[in-house]
């Protein structure tokens, strides 16, 4: 972070979640505010945490993640959501938020950070691979029932 007007905070109140919705909507285009709030409430019960990078109290970037444990990543942080407002991209805000998540992960006993990214998001893939040395190591599949 570069100035005292910039901060990263965990969003824990409904008021903060509503304030974050316009940015989240840019990533999760198919959800309404009502659905977002309902799902966020359920996800928090499962350990989901939502953090914002703000400038002068305006949210410009969001990251939502959980600590998870499995056989292949052991104890790790899984990032479900990472988005920077379209009018604030390429200014390092997402980078600062991801660096924060890496540090938070280490402080909380996780040595791996994992995420998925839609196949169409080639710019995001370049960001993860070139700026942060993330590996493409598997394919993710799903079936809608």
pLDDT 10s digits, 20-32:
999 999 999 999 9
pLDDT digits 0-9 by tens, 92-104: 898 999 999 999 9
Tens digits of residue pLDDT in 68-92: 999 999 999 999 999 999 999 888 8
Neighbours of 101 (CB within 10 A): 21
pLDDT tens digits, 103-134? 999 999 999 999 877 767 767 666 677 777 77
Per-residue confidence (pLDDT) for residue 138, from 0 to 100: 77
Residues 128 and 140: their CA atoms lie apart, in Å, by 17
The predicted pLDDT at position 123 comes to 72
Distance of CA 24 to the CA centre of its chain: 9
User: Percent of the chain scored above 70 by pLDDT?
Assistant: 92
- Is residue 140 pLDDT above 90, yes or no? no
The predicted pLDDT at position 2 comes to 60
Q: CA 77 to CA 101: how far, in whole Å?
A: 8
For the sheet containing 49-55, what is the strand order?
Answer: 6-11, 49-55, 58-70, 74-84, 112-115
Mean model confidence pLDDT for the chain: 90
Give the CATH class of 6-132. alpha beta
State the pLDDT at residue 122.
Answer: 64
Q: Can you give the residue ranges of every domain in the chain?
A: 6-132
Q: Is a pLDDT exceeding 80 seen at residue 58?
A: yes
């Amino acid at each position: 972070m570069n100035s005292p007007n910039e901060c990263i905070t965990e969003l824990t109140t409904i008021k903060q979640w509503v304030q974050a919705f316009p940015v989240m909507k840019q990533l999760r285009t198919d959800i309404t505010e009502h659905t977002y709030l309902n799902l966020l409430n359920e996800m928090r019960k499962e350990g989901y945490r939502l953090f914002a990078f703000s400038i002068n109290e305006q949210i410009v970037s969001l990251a939502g993640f959980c600590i998870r444990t499995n056989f292949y990543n052991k104890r790790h942080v899984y990032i479900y959501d990472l988005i920077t407002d379209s009018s604030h991209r390429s200014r390092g805000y997402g980078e600062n938020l991801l660096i924060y998540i890496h540090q938070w992960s280490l402080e909380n006993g996780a040595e791996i950070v994992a995420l998925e990214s839609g196949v169409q998001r080639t710019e995001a893939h370049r960001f993860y691979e070139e700026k942060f040395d993330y590996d493409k190591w598997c394919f993710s599949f799903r079936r809608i029932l």
